[in-house]
Structure 1
Amino acid sequence: MTAPLSDYRSWGGLAARGSAIVDGRDWLDAPHRPRRPLLAYGNGRSYGDSCLNDGGTLIDTRGLDDILAFDRETGLITCGAGLMLDRLLEIAVPAGWFPPVTPGTAFVTIGGALANDVHGKNHHSAGTFGCHIRAFELVRSDGQRLLCAPDLNGELFAATIGGFGLTGLVTQVTLQLMPIASAEMAQEVLPFDNLDGFFEIATASDATHDYTVAWIDSLASGRNLGRGVFFRANHAPASDEPPPRQARTLPFPLKPPVPLINRVTLGAFNWLYRNSQPRDRLERRVPYRPFFYPLDRIHDWNRAYGPQGLRQFQCAIPPENAAATVAEMLRQTLAAGEASFLTVLKLFGDKPSPGLMSFPMPGATLTLDFPNRGERTERLLARLDGLAIAAGGRVNPYKDARMSPETFAASFPRWRDFAAHVDPGFSSGFWRRVTAQ
């Protein structure tokens, strides 16, 4: 049973305009190349239009959510592509296993994580999600059902991981989980006063901790430009102590007519957030969910950005240009009078993905988000795009809703090689936009 069309949106608030909806199970009973382009839809947590298909057909995959096999001795699991990561965690963690890579929300499907080749706080130690996929089934629009693995249909395997769902419908995925001794993290919290402080802590932490990430105060300027709080952690060892209590999840209480994110509200939040963190730098055991998925505690938190939604920007910058480029991006954001709530900075490692179009590259990655204020927001994002490309970096497609074909081509110079593997029956709003189709 599919939901009303109005429920099919991206997390940034873009709607699926004029799309038809078909249940994934129904389409698999009679796969065919339609007159209108197809695209798989998971849980809509991509921020832009990579999960949308205006005027086409969305295949709702959330009914393809069975656990098909789970070897509790080896951690190898095969599941339907529509299985929610949240559900996988409920099954795997009590058995002593954990996803080797996880994004910042548990409300994504496994197929969506594959299609975007998501990364997490441990890219420097584990690479991307695609590094741990052992095989998947791909159904093409002509009805072909193909098993793909590194040594079987290898080119399609590489094109599909990080391929935006454009190579066909992934129906099931075999993933290698990683062993854990507890459901807790051994976490340290380290405040820093500027960008130099971030790079010093991050470089040292990547050698000692599997998970590293920093929150940045986007309103800080001058000698405090780039100040923030650094979080680093490893999976905690087993313990006889009772686990810390998990906080309750809460719904966002309203749909505000205007954005609640502005310089005044963000200034107050940033002060409170920075000053509420422990200052002693001691290691503490914390539950895994608030460490990996802090915003999942507030359902529909994207409503805070108002009825026009939000625009998120994420770039990757090579090491030699990272510090200067990140600093200039923060200055440009301040000069534009914008306020970014989710300002996240971390280092990517040199862990190549099997995915042909995977986003991460060695260096730094900065994430910013803004209430969508139309042309004003578009101008700032275009300037940030230009800074990323000029520094030899790239812009993240699955966080994007407006990059130009030129920015996409500069970010992914091998996109034409990838295009040769796109299923002729599949497309998306993002793909048509960046390839000017």
Structure 2
Amino acid sequence: MARNPRPRFESWGRYPKLYADVVPLSWASDFPLKRPTPAPLLPVGAGRSYGDVCLLDGGTLLATRGLDRLLQFDPLTGVLRCEAGVTLAEILDFAVPRGFFLPVTPGTKYVTVGGAIANDIHGKNHHVAGTFGNHVIQFELVRSDGHHLLCSAERNSDWFSATIGGMGLTGLITWAEIRLRPIVSRKIKYQGDKFVGIEEFVALSRSSANSEYTVAWIDCVATGKNFARGIFMAGDHSEIAEPLVPSSEPWLTLPIDLPEFALNRLSIAAFNTLYYSKQQAKQKRALVDYEPFFYPLDQVLHWNRMYGKSGLLQFQCVIPWEGDQQGITQILKAITSSGLASFLAVIKVFGDVPSPGLMSFPKPGITLALDFPIREEVSFDLLDRLANITLDHGGRMYPAKDARMTAAQFQAFYPQWREFSRYIDPAFGSAFWKRVTNG
């Protein structure tokens, strides 16, 4: 284990810019560290969290990508045991040719299993499948004092619940077992419907409740008669058997940081108009490969560089169903009037499948996720307003995509945080946790 003196480990949003020592782990026996440090520890995987949940200001980051071994697979049940540093992309390369797929996947496959558990990721099928944690059978949790805990819904169930969605603070996950789902084709039966307005989005969501996957792109720049226009996308795995082969590696990459003026309201408005207009008909049906359906942005490596060196801020909230859709409408109006714009705007519905995680983000309602370029105080002020609107309407924000939540907001969103804090490893911490608990 070689120590690298204080390099920068960036989150995907590239903000905030913090420094910490990095210790790469290659074997489970590498932890606990032989020479514990007084500064906090934090496990990190692929660094695909957007804000500071995967960052430390000082301290030691435990880089887990070296824990990348597939340990055991049962082709009859689809149960896979793997180390925590294995990425979802690596699981797909192994599982798809064998007729299996991930039970839940976010919008990128370049996240680790440990990170997927720690942030209890969700996907387009939350309304029927719940979160990633719903499909985790068991995992090993190693504490800084050397204790090894085998955690499942039946054994050490309190640690199981605290660690799923626990932001990496309860200890180091070394390996996990997850249950994959069978498939016979790479293809997705796709249907795209154009809509205008939140009411039409909600109607499409309800009429598509039997589809396994649903999500929508929404235009957060358009105003007037085009306000809240978008494309609703539903899909199911094809039942027509075909040869199952692994995906090819992406070949496009963004090699440099774009100048910050490249992303502005006019350029994003033009992109959004083109994107909305590319589907000419009101409704479109097609058979598409799972890669562009689930992972459109993964086709361009380092796409976060398009936001420039300053990075980006992501905002994701969920607003409960109670009442009308005033909360989501108010958020969208605040964005359109701010002078900022987001072209990576996603809106979808969370179902009522409960997560096993104590601190998990999803709950029934509408969730909205957006990326904003950092434009000094303008971006920060907007996110502060959006957080307050979310709070006013009984919603909450996603820690894995946050860099701005205040302590008061977080503690209102997650009143169970004090109960969770009892499970935090005394040697562990994060920039996020320090910020939202005034630690």
* Alignment TM-score, normalising by the size of structure 1: 0.95
Asked whether the equivalents of residues 216 and 228 of structure 1 are also in contact (C-alpha less than 8 Å), the reply is yes
For 2:303 and 2:295, how far apart are their aligned partners in 1? 13
Of residues 228, 236, 239, the one that matches 1:237 is 239
Identity among equivalent pairs (%): 48
Deviation at 1:242, TM superposition (A): 10
For 1:242 and 1:175, how far apart are their aligned partners in 2? 21
For 1:322 and 1:94, how far apart are their aligned partners in 2? 45
2:353 counterpart residue number: 351
- RMSD across aligned positions (CA): 2.0
Asked whether the equivalents of residues 82 and 109 of structure 1 are also in contact (C-alpha less than 8 Å), the reply is yes
Asked whether the equivalents of residues 316 and 361 of structure 1 are also in contact (C-alpha less than 8 Å), the reply is yes
Matches within 5 A, 1:135-150: 135-150=138-153
1:260 counterpart residue number: 262
Deviates more, 1:15-24 or 1:148-157: 15-24
Asked whether the equivalents of residues 67 and 79 of structure 1 are also in contact (C-alpha less than 8 Å), the reply is yes
Total equivalences in the alignment: 435
1:223 counterpart residue number: 225
Asked whether the equivalents of residues 246 and 287 of structure 1 are also in contact (C-alpha less than 8 Å), the reply is no
For 2:125 and 2:381, how far apart are their aligned partners in 1? 32
Deviations 1:331-374 (A, max 9, x none): 11111111012111111000100000000010000111110112
For 2:244 and 2:30, how far apart are their aligned partners in 1? 48
- Residue identity matched to 2:402: D
2:62 counterpart residue number: 59
1:156 aligns to 2:159 (yes or no): yes
Matches within 5 A, 1:163-202: 163-202=166-205
For 1:82 and 1:247, how far apart are their aligned partners in 2? 19
Segments of 4+ in structure 1 off by > 6 A?
Answer: 1-4
1:47 aligns to 2:50 (yes or no): yes
Structure 1 unaligned spans of 5+:
none
Deviation at 1:72, TM superposition (A): 1.2
Asked whether the equivalents of residues 13 and 313 of structure 2 are also in contact (C-alpha less than 8 Å), the reply is yes
For 2:20 and 2:324, how far apart are their aligned partners in 1? 40
1:75 aligns to 2:78 (yes or no): yes
Cα gap change, 1:280 to 1:366, in 2 (>3 Å): closer
Deviation at 1:7, TM superposition (A): 5.5
For 1:21 and 1:11, how far apart are their aligned partners in 2? 17
- Residue identity matched to 1:180: I
For 2:194 and 2:2, how far apart are their aligned partners in 1? 46
2:101 counterpart residue number: 98
Of residues 421, 424, 427, the one that matches 1:425 is 427
Deviation at 1:42, TM superposition (A): 0.2
SS at match of 1:427: coil
Cα gap change, 1:364 to 1:205, in 2 (>3 Å): same
1:23 counterpart residue number: 24
Deviates more, 1:313-322 or 1:107-116: 313-322
1:324 counterpart residue number: 326
Deviations 1:197-216 (A, max 9, x none): 1111111112x201000000
- Residue identity matched to 2:228: G
Matches within 5 A, 1:232-381: 232-239=234-241, 249-277=251-279, 279=281, 281-321=283-323, 323-381=325-383
For 2:373 and 2:410, how far apart are their aligned partners in 1? 23
Structure 2 unaligned spans of 5+:
none
Asked whether the equivalents of residues 193 and 232 of structure 2 are also in contact (C-alpha less than 8 Å), the reply is yes
Asked whether the equivalents of residues 96 and 244 of structure 2 are also in contact (C-alpha less than 8 Å), the reply is no
Cα gap change, 1:248 to 1:36, in 2 (>3 Å): closer
